[in-house]
Amino acid sequence: MSENNNEKKRFGRRAACGFTTVALVTGAFYVCVFKGVDLSWFVEYSKVMVYVLGFVVGGLTATDIVQGLRK
């Protein structure tokens, strides 16, 4: 039963990171469109956010794999 709880926890951590990134990028897009900021700023901001998301999710996946192998 505890393994089932771990699976839900693992999904939730990745999903929360993804939803947070989507919200931040969407907010930046609206700032870019309605405040008249240059589109290149949004593109660079989005790249950084996606790279950070990939690093975080990759790190979570790696630690989950290592912990799974230890069992």
Average the pLDDT over 29-57 and give the result. 92
Q: Using 50, 70 and 90 to split pLDDT, how confident is the model at 2?
A: very low
Answer whether 17's CB lies under 8 Å from 50's CB. no
State how far the Cα of 63 lies from the Cα of 12, in Å rounded to an integer: 15
Whole-prediction pTM: 0.74
Share of the chain above pLDDT 90, in %: 51
Average the pLDDT over 6-18 and give the result. 73
State yes or no: pLDDT of 42 exceeds 50. Answer: yes
Q: How far apart are the first and last CA of the chain?
A: 15
